[in-house]
Amino acid sequence: MKPYRLYIDESGDHTYKSLADPSKRYLGLTGCFIKTEVYRTKFHLALEALKQKHFPHSPDEPVILHRADIINRRGPFWRLRDEEARQKFDQALLGFFESQEYLLVTVVIDKKSHITLHEEAAYHPYHYCIVVMLERYCGFLNFFHAEGDVMAESRGGAEDKQLKMAYRRLFEDGTRFRDPGFFQRALTSKEIKLKKKEANIAGLQLADLLAYPSKQDILIAKGKIEDPGNVFGREVCRHIEAKYNRHLYDRRVWGYGKVLLD
């Protein structure tokens, strides 16, 4: 039995404020699940080698790949102000996305539609998305008689506490669609692991880099936003398309690797 770990990061706002603003209306969670042996022997080492090649640094002061810092050329990413260096890094990153062994699930919620439809009964957006994601993750694990755990990026004291409670509730009580045993057979821990960005977790860095473009990809496909054209995020999506979790027989991606909630 090969254990897995699911790494989760978000893109967007998890509150119900300012929903008229498209940048606030949608929340997306992207999860990357990776075999722990592959992560230990290949994935982590490959990401560290990529960072060391393009952003030479002391291992005592690791470079953390964070999408916002990369786009704004902050911190160690000042090197990307040089156009040739940027192009080389972009191509190396696309190659990493395509060559590594992992699976993706992205869940996006239209918060405006959801709260309009459900009003006071509306779910907490982040918690709703993570429940839907864990149903897919545990479905995959159960099908292959595997098991795994879950790690997400820490978002702060109160939010971390709420997330831990939501995860524990799912583990102990199940959901409307899945009984507790469905989750308990697949998950090795009744506690979600939370790590800060500074911890240099390779899986969380992958989730951070893919969360925004994969969210936008779903919104474009469903006609929620306009296609921005030939931007780097669209190129990222072309390189990760084969990584999405799919129905194991007919290879459908919608409902398995890509989910839009109203």
* Residue 34 CB burial class (10 angstroms; 0-12, 13-18, ≥19): buried
Percent of the chain at pLDDT > 70 equals 100
Question: 216-230: per-residue pLDDT in tens?
Answer: 999 999 999 999 998
Nearest to 219 by CA among 179, 161, 258, 178: 258
Q: Token digits for 255?
A: 């409902």
CA-nearest of 50, 62, 64, 55 to 93 is 50
User: Domains in the chain and their CATH numbers?
Assistant: 4-261 (3.30.420.10)
* Helix 111-118 vs helix 125-143: crossing angle, to nearest 10: 100
Beta-bridge partner residues of 150:
6
pLDDT tens-digit map of 52-108: 999 999 999 999 999 999 999 999 999 999 999 999 999 999 999 999 999 999 999
CA distances from 203 to 66, 80, 168, 197, 207 (A): 12, 23, 22, 11, 6
How far, CA to CA in Å, does 105 sit from each of 98, 246, 258? Answer: 16, 9, 6
> With bands split at pLDDT 50, 70 and 90, how would you rate the model's confidence at 1?
low
- What's the rounded Cα separation, in Å, for the pair 52 and 203? 17
Give the lowest-confidence range in 46-50, 129-133, 153-157. Answer: 153-157
The answer to whether residue 28 scores a pLDDT higher than 90 is: yes
**Could you tell me the two tokens for 66?**
């964070």
Cα separation, 136 vs 142, whole angstroms: 10
The pLDDT of residue 154 is: 93
Could you list the beta-strand ranges (E) of the chain: 4-11, 26-35, 103-110, 148-153, 193-195, 258-261
Tell me the mean pLDDT in the region 49-53.
98
Q: What is the pLDDT of residue 73?
A: 97
User: Partners of 4 in the beta sheet?
Assistant: 35, 148
Place of tokens 């098991």: 147
Q: What is the DSSP letter of 251?
A: -
- Cα–Cα distance, 196 to 62 (Å, whole number): 14
From the list 53, 71, 72, the residue with the least C-alpha distance to 63 is 53
What pTM value is reported for the model?
0.96
Average pLDDT, the chain: 95
pLDDT of res. 156: 83
Mean pLDDT of the region 9-34: 92
131 touches 166 (CB < 8 A): yes
Instruction: Please check whether residue 22 is in contact with residue 53, taking contact to mean a CB–CB distance below 8 angstroms.
Output: no
